[in-house]
Amino acid sequence: MNINITKYYYGDIPEEKGGGSAAHSESTANWPLWEVFIRSKQGLDHKHVGSLHATDEKMAIENARDVYTRRMEGVSIWVVESKYIHASSPDDAEAFYEPANDKVYRHPTFYDLPDEVKHM
């Protein structure tokens, strides 16, 4: 069985003209990487659970269903091609996040909530 698969890993994905992976791009034997987000039965938001390779969005969703929902972990699946996820750089962490540390006046904790107000 001779199968040639070129896999792209996060970080070295080249910019493709046209974006998206339609079913026609299989002929290039490229299997893009997809990030998988699953919402569990009790949850309200989709959480990132991992990643997988697939040729197109249908296969990506089915693979996610087969790999990440075997033990009833979820009832809803989102898949996004990894190249469409843009992340902040750890080098910027200082400039991005530390200034918020000493600005306590931004937190909404300085008034008393009446007991009747729930879900706040």
- Interface contacts to another protein, rule CB under 8 A: 1, 3, 5, 23, 26-27, 31, 52-55, 58-59, 62-63, 65-67, 70
Alpha-carbon span 66 to 60, nearest angstrom: 10
| CB 76, min distance to another protein, A | 16
What number of other Cβ atoms are within 10 A of residue 73's Cβ?
A: 13
Unique residue bearing structure tokens 């001779």:
2
- Residue closer to another protein by CB (options 19, 28) is 28
- Residue closer to another protein by CB (options 15, 37) is 37
Alpha-carbon span 76 to 49, nearest angstrom: 12
| CB 65, min distance to another protein, A | 8
| CB 47, min distance to another protein, A | 19
- Report in angstroms the alpha-carbon separations of 81 from 39, 67, 94, 98: 18, 17, 28, 31
- Residue closer to another protein by CB (options 38, 52) is 52
